[in-house]
Amino acid sequence: MTQSTVIPFYGSDVPNDAVINTCVHCGLCLSACPTYRETGLEQFSPRGRIYLMKAVADGRIGMESEVFQEQMSACLNCRACEAVCPSGVQYGQILESARTQIHHAKKDGTLPAYPATTTAVRSLVFGQLFRKMSVFRLFSRLIWLYQKTGLQWIARRSGIIKLFGLTEQEAILPPINDTFMVPRDQVYPAIGAERARVALLSGCIMSTAFSHVHTATIRVLQRNGVTVVVPRDQGCCGALHAHGGELDSARSLAQHNIVAFGSSYDAVIVNAAGCGSTLKEYGHLLHDDAAWADRAAAFSAKVRDISEYIAALDVNTADLNPLPLTVTYQEPCHLAHAQRITAQPRALLKKIPGLTLVEMAESSLCCGSAGIYNVTQPELAGQLGNRKIANTVRTNAQVVVTANPGCHLQLAGGLRATGSAMRVLHIAEVLDMSYRGATA
Ligand code: SF4
Ligand code: SF4
């Protein structure tokens, strides 16, 4: 096909017409959309993007349209639009399908291929790092060495990072923990009578840069009478693949995890919002596959975010110690919008004696992290990051609490850049500090 040909959606993962046509163009989602709020442009809005998808579906434009491709990429997939849409448009589903269409067309030559560097980065990120956890952990260990041996200090001061144009990418490298949470069927028994036995998703970045959050999560669950197992052989949840237009890879990762976790646990606990929402959508991801559909739906039905799970228990408040802290809460998009979990984290924080929760403005507006968005769309990501930091700092809290690694890193980097002393903590860390009687 030539570039002047109108290239329709084709093959598998065509955005679902029925979902596209659910949109009644009311515009009620516009004020919730971070990219629309930043630009004020219709094409940067959910309604504008759905209109573009419909235009391709109806053959009025093709996938070769630069505006179509640009907008499928400029969307954060934060799903704030989905949460406020009165018609119930399942926006995330059609966006991920549209991205997969573009990806397939670039791979099979229907659309011009990615630039060579993009192909190389995609192949490394989606095909290796976030596909094979052994490779991810090896890579994490190399970053750990870079950070621990002083190489990072030298690289930053010598200007070599700037020379290679890697300043922004290097700045968002998370500090890697000394100890990783490698899943090996570890069992952490409940304290007191066992009320449930759950499996924990160790994940990719959570297992290397946030393994301390896993430790806190496990201790909080144990204090609530829950035995925690970290099943071996589990892998990446597939969120990055699904969001990045590689739905086939996301499906194969989902199948891998469904087997690794089995069906013997009372719940599958996740403490990273993006991973949790993906695990909860395995049922949809595999709904067309007769061999997997039922297993995937049953698996998804057991997935719980940590705050959702603890709040639903008759939570152990007797062992909570005073924690004299002023905190604010930043809502991860994939917790607030994709999983619709907003009340539970606040309710849990309010149960901690001595803790004061102050609300920040626009708590549920995306911070601009959104997976690899701050790499693919640095300008918009920077604007949204600055807006989030301004709202955070304005609360004068000592700690900003969140529950997703992307948000955590975006907040920590932004606060560092402004010279703020405010700390970023996961909600499980705050609960754990109170249970342990730790000082702030
Ligand atoms: S996505 Fe929903 S809220 Fe937005 S314009 Fe369409 S129907 Fe209205
Ligand atoms: S997912 Fe987020 S950025 Fe994308 S259209 Fe919806 S509200 Fe806007």
Encode pLDDT of 61-79 as tens digits.
999 999 999 999 999 999 9
Amino acid identity, residue 395?
A: T
Query: C-alpha distances in angstroms, 131 versus 4, 236, 276?
Result: 36, 6, 17
Residue bearing the CA closest to ligand 2, atom 5: 46
Q: Is the CB of 46 under 6 A from ligand 1?
A: yes
Q: What share of the chain is helix, strand, coil (3-state, %, to 5)?
A: 50, 10, 40
Q: Cα(284)–Cα(260) distance, rounded to whole angstroms?
A: 19
Contacts of residue 4, Cβ cutoff 8 Å, sequence gap at least 6:
none
> Phi first, then psi: what are they for 82, rounded to 5°?
-65, -40
Structure tokens at 386: 């600055």
Q: What is the DSSP letter of 340?
A: -
Q: What percent of the chain has pLDDT over 70?
A: 97
**CA quadruple 375, 362, 237, 239: dihedral sign:** negative
In the chain, what are the domain boundaries?
Answer: 17-107, 116-171, 186-311, 319-436
Instruction: Indicate if the pLDDT at residue 3 is higher than 60.
Output: no
Do residues 35 and 73 touch, judged by C-beta distance below 8 A? no
Contacts of residue 130, Cβ cutoff 8 Å, sequence gap at least 6:
136, 204, 236, 240, 241
Encode pLDDT of 346-370 as tens digits.
999 999 999 999 999 999 999 988 7
Reduced to 3 states (helix: H, G, I; strand: E, B; else coil), residue 15 is coil
Per-residue confidence band for 1, with pLDDT thresholds at 50, 70 and 90: very low
Report the b/e string of 137-161 with b at 16+ CB within 10 A: bebbeebbebeeeeebeebeeeeeb
CATH number, domain 319-436? 3.40.50.11810
Atom of ligand 1 nearest to the CA of 47: 5
CATH T-level assignment (fold) for domain 17-107? Fumarate Reductase Iron-sulfur Protein; Chain B, domain 2 (1.10.1060)
Q: Cα(257)–Cα(345) distance, rounded to whole angstroms?
A: 27
| Residues at CB less than 6 angstroms from ligand 2 | 32-35, 46, 49, 75-81, 91
CATH T-level assignment (fold) for domain 186-311? Rossmann fold (3.40.50)
Encode pLDDT of 381-432 as tens digits.
889 999 999 999 999 999 999 999 999 999 998 999 899 999 999 999 999 9
* Mean pLDDT of the chain, nearest integer: 93
Measure 333 CA to ligand 2 centroid, in angstroms: 10
Domains 17-107 and 319-436 share a fold: no
